[in-house]
Amino acid sequence: MIAGRGRQRIRPPRRSLQGDSDIDFENTWGTIASAFREIHTKNASRLSYEELYRHAYRIVLKKKGEELYKRVKEFEHEWLSNEVRGSIQALFSPNLLADTQSLGGTTTNERRVAGEKFLRGLKQAWGDHQVCMSMLADVLMYMDRVYCQDHRRPSIYTAAMFLFRDDILNSPTSDQDGRVVLSLLNHVILDQIQMERDGDIVDKHLIKSCVYMLENLYEDEMESEDSRLYSLSFEREYLDSSREFYRQESELMLRDSDAGAYCRRARQRIREEEDRCRSTLLEVTAPKIQKVVEDELVKNRIRELVDMESGVRFMIDNDRVEELNLIFDLNARVDPKKGELTRSIQKRIVDLGNDINSAALVASQAPAAATAESGDKGKGAAQEKSLNQQTVAAIKWVEDVLRLKDKFDSIWRGSFNEDQPLQTALTRSFADFINSTTFPRSSEYISLFIDENMKKGIKGKTEAEVDAVLEKAIILLRYIQDKDLFERYYKKHLCRRLLMNKSISNDVEKHMISKMKIELGNNFTMKLEAMFKDMTISEELTDGFKKHVAGLGDKDPKRIELGINVLTSMTWPLETMGNDDDEESKRPKCNFPTSIERIKLGFEKYYNEKHSGRKLTWLVNMGTADIKATFPRVPNKDGTFRERRHDLNVSTYGMIILLLFNDLPEGHSLTFEEIQAHTNIPHNDLVRNLQSLAVAPGKRILLKEPMSKDVKATDRFLFNESFNGKFVKIKIGVVASGNKVESDRERRETEKKNDDSRAFQIEAAVVRIMKQRKELLHQQLVSETLAQLAAQFKPEVNMIKKRIESLIEREYLERMEGAKTDMYRYLA
């Protein structure tokens, strides 16, 4: 811009601006120094800033900046050493100093007062120093700007701060004492904080200003962030002493108080320290002290805390929701996985679960032991009783487990903030004890529980309640590892319910199935659904056959009605139904009376017309029959005669037996062997049916000679003509046909069958995998097989190995020659 203004000369500046060239440095400095003294004694109003500034300006222009800088520093050094230090030292009361050597001798209150006086004095000195130095610095602004920047010196203000650090804080407290003021300051602050921790009220504001002082002073000239006196000197000591304090406190509290109180205290301490950082110290310390407190009070102690007598176990048992929440919170602070808490919770679950398991085992075995002692007499009844007992035990087991589950769920909701990892841990623990190898019955028990509810439990309940019950069962089902075993039991129980019409509501049954379908997938429920389908088809068949018979025009008044269930042999667990004998393979044809035989043939013909190529096998042992029985007149008490009719509901075998007596002349009897010869009923079934017809009290349609509970081959039976029943309809159940817990032998059988079917499933899985991969390492094959079957059950590795061997034998696979580790190839 100047260039555009033509050729005017720029004159040199006049001399006057530079002032007298020959100013005397010493004189000028003398003026400045005396002015500084005035500033330090707060008499600035008499001074002219402009004059002082001009003096300094001139000195700097004279290239005497370095000299000036040095003089100012010297001046400040002298001032601090002579004036300020003295006033600070005057604050060291005997109380304060005494305390630094020994803790005893002075009361807390005296110490606090002395400490506050010291802090106040120091704060005052610091404040004055700051104000004066900023005035000085402004007067010497020109020097700062020109000299300090050019020569890379710290500004005079900064330099003066260092002087304060060196001359005041790092000066010895007294001539004899080696300690410096800084360490005394740290000590006093810590002492004050300690007093606050012990419940005293201290001047937080005062401490905070001293802390600010430490924050604004640096250890070295670089003023780097981490060389603040605060972090280098005070904070370190603070953390150390806090660590020590909390270590002792935690030890004391663990010894003297219970876990709940400990937790409350710890939480309170953590909050206190947080507040302290905000109100008394600096926020930057918060995470550090937090860690110290957490380390000392929680991390190093959590194990002891959890295992205390009044620890987690006690809290769980006594439903101390709030305390558990505290522990959870504390543990979460130091360990996002909450390892210790999880560990102890899991242990408690497994312990409680195992208690339930063994209680169930004891309950189911105790009566069994009693049976062995009671000898032969009444063995059957006792056995039945023991089976009942076992069922009760099973139901109790399920309910106990559910109660346990409810308990932990509510704790989880109430105390653990619905923490996800903890829920996983809970689930795992439940699965652990439910699938415990020492307790193999959980699948059976759960199925029994459902069975019991389907038959009785849900009577008179609302839909919502029923749903809750089913949901519970599903929850347990989720824990079951060997789903295939459960399926087997469920099928068996369902089968009984369906065929014997024991189920209260078909809708509920279907509802349950659909729930299982959601939970376990289509595969699982396919066969169960097929069972329902069979039932529906059978109803149609029955109706159809009825019409068919009516259509034949055979108006026989004695016509027998037939209700039939046609069951697909693959889907129904026929082998587990009723027939305990091992002769089912050569199931003997039982001889039907002609009237029955005729209708049976009729149905077979009708069925074969509808579905050609299917073979019907009659499961006589599963059927029931309604018979109208007429008993001869007997004289009543008043002398009249009355004919008595009863509708008897008996098993099919029972019906066959009774029909034999129809053809018998009055008073004649049949021996056991004769009955067997006539009917060809399997021995066991015959015994049971005769027992229920002749032995069960109140329902003796037949009389037995000799009268005893056991049926022997030589026993004779005759029609009980004087039978007198209270009801018109009488149901004669067959002994031990209810749904009970399995006996040991049955269980072994079930397990064997289960193993067999598992073997097939494993083979299928192996082949599926190999077909896809063609070649695979042994280890990989095993793990993939495990993964595939996880939804159904957890096979043993040994079993997989055996299946692989067998597949190799049958040339589905081959071992690869020359491979380092075992490897297989699929043979198409």
Partner 1 sequence: MAEKQLSEYVTLVSSDGFEFRILRSAACIAKTVQKALDPAYGFKEDQENKMTLSNINGVVLEKVCEYLYYNQKYAKAKDVPDPDIPPELCLELLIAADYLQC
Residues forming contacts to partner 1 in the complex (CB under 8 A) are 1-2, 5, 8-14, 16-19, 44-51, 53-54, 57, 131, 135, 138-139, 141-142, 145
CB-nearer residue toward partner 1: 16 or 522? 16
The answer to whether residues 732 and 649 touch, using CB atoms and an 8 Å cutoff, is yes
For 438, list phi and psi in degrees, rounded to 5: -80, -5
Report whether 815 contacts 805 (CB < 8 A). Answer: no
CA–CA dist 71, 307 (Å, integer): 69
| Strands of 641-651's sheet in order across | 624-635, 641-651, 729-731
Nearest to 696 by CA among 661, 723, 664, 729: 723
Min CB(139)–partner 1 separation in Å: 8
CB of 87 to partner 1, least distance (A): 23
Smallest separation, CB 39 to partner 1 (Å): 8
Q: Which is nearer to partner 1, 9 or 255 (CB)?
A: 9
* Residue 74 near residue 36, CB atoms below 8 Å: no
In the complex, least distance from residue 132 CB atom to partner 1, rounded to whole angstroms: 10
How far is the CA of 373 from the CAs of 366, 383, 547, 709, in angstroms?
11, 12, 56, 18
Q: In whole angstroms, how far apart are CA 13 and each of 10, 20, 451, 508, 522? A: 9, 14, 114, 110, 102
Residue 327: CB minimum distance to partner 1, A:
54
C-alpha 306/C-alpha 259 separation (Å) is 8
What is the rounded CA–CA span in Å between residue 812 and residue 803? 11
Answer for the pair 369, 332: CB distance below 8 angstroms, yes or no: no
Question: Which residue has 């069960």 as its token pair?
Answer: 696
> Closest separation between CB of residue 129 and partner 1, Å?
15
Amino acid identity of residue 588, one-letter, is P
Nearer to partner 1, 136 or 266 (CB): 136
Give the DSSP H/E element, type plus range, for residue 308. none
Q: Are 565 and 499 in contact (CB under 8 A)?
A: yes
- Shortest distance in whole angstroms from residue 25 CB to partner 1: 18
Nearest approach, Cβ of 26 to partner 1 (angstroms)? Answer: 21
What pairing do the DSSP bridges indicate for beta strands 729-731 and 702-705?
unpaired
Which residue reads 């370190």 in tokens?
A: 236
Q: Which is nearer to partner 1, 19 or 725 (CB)?
A: 19
Whole-number minimum distance, CB 241 to partner 1, in Å? 38
Tell me the Cα Rg of the chain.
49
CB of 10: closest distance to partner 1 in angstroms?
A: 6
Q: Which residues are within 8 A (CB) of 781 and not within 5 positions of it... i.e. 6 or more apart?
A: 766, 769, 770, 804, 824
Residue whose CB is less far from partner 1, 3 or 464:
3
Between 23 and 321, name the residue whose CB sits nearer to partner 1: 23
Least distance to partner 1, CB of residue 50, Å = 6
Residue 155 φ/ψ, nearest 5 degrees? -60, 160
Question: How crowded is the C-beta side of 685, counted as CA atoms within 13 Å?
Answer: 29
Q: Are 784 and 764 in contact (CB under 8 A)?
A: no
Question: CA–CA separation, 307 vs 300, rounded Å?
Answer: 13
Beta pairing partners, 729: 647
